[in-house]
Amino acid sequence: MLNRVPLRLDRCLVRGLNRLEAHALPRFGSDHRPISVSLRLGA
């Protein structure tokens, strides 16, 4: 099973998951700023 799924996102809306950490990444040719989010299955 994969621990990480690399997607270029500028927002993350989820249910049933808890955020462990999140931060913004540098812009690359877009007006949107991608994010990195680590999630865990919620209790």
Q: Is the pTM of this model over 0.85?
A: no
- Judged by DSSP in three states, 10 sits in coil
Please say whether the beta carbons of 38 and 22 come within 8 A: yes
The total domain count for the chain is: 1
Provide the pLDDT confidence category of residue 25 given band limits of 50, 70 and 90.
Answer: confident
- Residue 34: give the domain boundaries: 1-43
What distance in Å separates the CA atoms of residue 6 and residue 31, rounded to the nearest whole number?
20
Please state, rounded to an integer, the average pLDDT across all residues of the chain: 82
Provide the pLDDT confidence category of residue 41 given band limits of 50, 70 and 90.
Answer: very high
φ, ψ of residue 32 to 5 degrees: the values are -90, 145
**Angle at 25 (CA atoms; ends 7, 33), nearest 5 degrees:** 80
